[in-house]
Chain A
């Protein structure tokens, strides 16, 4: 699937699908992000704002950190019997202090591969011990974990979303540098996403996933979840209002007798419930956009967003107009694997004096598309079927490829390519890519998509 261009195009449109770029728990070696020598070389080092330098330091961050210190733990995941952690994140105690909230993606490996990954906590007083998962919420990237005999001071939850501009703090263990607090501003709910995320303008780094995001009164308004990499201080926080429902389900451990297959079925079921909602909710007829006589499906489900660009053509004697559509959020189901995604791209190619054979060549090249993305550890190979098909007003060649996920039997990737074939000077090359959907809903989306494609001179 075309994850790379999906993310890039979404970013270019300024949308917030950057939630996709999760602050993953990468085992980054501890590195000081700032080189001290560069500070010394700064020419204005001595002329730092005198006012600020003399100002009495605000104790706010210190107060927040001291109050939360004992409630926050580092969550580390170990591969087999290894003594060095495979990756790590953060978590914090809530409720009665016996249950710890973190991100699903922090514990995903040990949920999906329980025999290969084990979880451990490291508390502020140096205590450590094994953790087990009580409940997961794949959709909101939340999980509740607990350890036997571990009771910590609990943090209070705040279910209202902070107002835009409200001061906020995030706590966690970035890059294994030790407990850290960062200060920033909560910027309200992110627009254009399906899942609620609070936009936090402040530093969140890998390892802080699952840590608490605090408001001015020290209450937890959300859970650090992700950042947009390569941008500055654009972080995302899962609102705390999703936590109580999960806690209610987390009364007893995810049954340890469950087989890995059954655990994966649970994850799959959550993904399918989410996917059914985001893909099926939509007007009866798919919304379309007219380009060069073609009606192109755009609002294939309610949440889909589109943009039209005059794309740079791969050939000087050809014009390309492109309409790209996508779902502005996806769900991470295992490290590096996102599901319940939709991407659609329609391209109208117009020959500028190319011979039909030459134009054909260009059309075929574009129809072949970019290389699909997927790792053989995560997905099985595609099964494909192509045919000539009569659509509304034009003939096309259609190729549909479907593959399954190795871990999740109920999840499918769809890759549909439609190429208009009855005109030698103008062609439609359209692609629909679905990631991690149920077969039936994939087919329904295909049906809507094919039914909406139309040509009228």
Chain B
């Protein structure tokens, strides 16, 4: 078979919007805004006659810039105006339009096994499990309060949980519909509810463990894990609802998580930070025999209290540095 090349014009999210297969040595393909070009790009940064691709005898492609101001780039490098570049494959940028070129020189790998996404395959089961876990947590919180009307409280908690999941999922489903044409409701419900359930139940279990082992660092670790789970959730939602690649989705999810985290921090801790009436009593008390750390006796504890004098002194110094006394 003779020389052949495949040109794919890529859309803003990196997926092909146009494909052109060209055969025969010496065949040319002109790219530009001019309607006479073989590939017409709707790009104001491209020249009417921008670049010329020529299929060579040996199956490679010669890329030439047709004297434009913005130039033509191959894999990020600008093509010299006089010589042009000869390539076997690569990404050409014309103005702001990206085109991917492939020739016979590019080896074609063996067929990859088609792996269906785990979440997609089990979406019904996962969605049902996640929503149940979330409702169970809401109900559990209500039960802990031992309200006078248990049925009413638990029903209310269930409805609130469903409402929150519906709002969040609705947003992502709409995004999916706009980008892909389908709603994918169950996939989004599964992602959202599973992650929320992990965070909620994880919070409760972390409180239990923090008291049992008397290790308050666990709280920070718990917050970090919750943050990671939230990041995973946003990442998965983005991957399902948009055309973004892995890196872009990860970057966006990371940014979103940091942003949400920063807002939450400002509201929950940042404003309260340095509050003179804020007391940290330690993890919530659990009654019964579920402790692994030996108790201290009074003398040992009082020795520790001595350190509080220095700690309180440091707090005072900080406070005075922050807002000095008017008369000093």
Contact = CB atoms under 8 A, between A and B. Distances in A.
Nearest to A413: B312
A416 B195 CA distance: 38
Contacts of A356: 287-288
Interface in A344-369: 354-364, 367-369
B315 A381 contact: yes
Interface residues of A, number: 73
A364 B285 contact: yes
Interface stretch (A209-217, A268-276, A404-412): A404-412
Contact of B146 (A354, A389, A423): A354
Interface in A373-430: 373-391, 395, 397-407, 409, 412, 415, 417, 419, 421-424, 427
A407 B280 CA distance: 24
Contacts of B117: none
A421 B290 CA distance: 10
Q: Give the interface SS of chain A, mostly helix, strand, loop or mixed.
A: mixed
Interface in A149-192: none
Contacts of A422: 287-289
Given A261-B328, A387-B296, A403 B276 contact: yes
B320 interface: yes
Contact of B315 (A367, A404, A415, A417): A404
A116 B308 CA distance: 33
Nearest to B314: A383
B285 A113 contact: no
A384 B146 contact: no
Contact of A388 (B274, B293, B320, B328): B293
A421 B281 CA distance: 14
Which has the most chain A C-beta neighbours within 10 Å: B211, B287, B326?
Answer: B287
Interface stretch (A91-99, A285-293, A442-450): A442-450
Contacts of B287: 356, 359-360, 363, 421-424, 427
How many B residues touch the partner, as a band? Answer: 35 or more
Contact of B304 (A387, A401, A415): A387
B200 to A, nearest CB: 16
Contact of B298 (A317, A402, A447): A447
Given A354-B146, A380-B316, A389 B285 contact: no
A377 to B, nearest CB: 8
Given A372-B279, A384-B279, A447-B298, 16 more contacts: A112-B327, A358-B145, A358-B146, A363-B287, A364-B285, A380-B315, A381-B318, A385-B311, A386-B282, A388-B296, A400-B308, A402-B312, A403-B276, A409-B313, A421-B286, A421-B287
11 contacts: A114-B327, A356-B287, A364-B285, A382-B277, A382-B278, A385-B305, A388-B296, A401-B279, A403-B312, A421-B291, A451-B298
8 closest Cβ pairs, A-B complex: A386-B282, A383-B311, A260-B327, A380-B316, A372-B277, A380-B319, A390-B295, A404-B316
Interface of A: 112-116, 260-261, 315-317, 354-364, 367-369, 371-391, 395, 397-407, 409, 412, 415, 417, 419, 421-424, 427, 439, 443, 446-447, 450-451
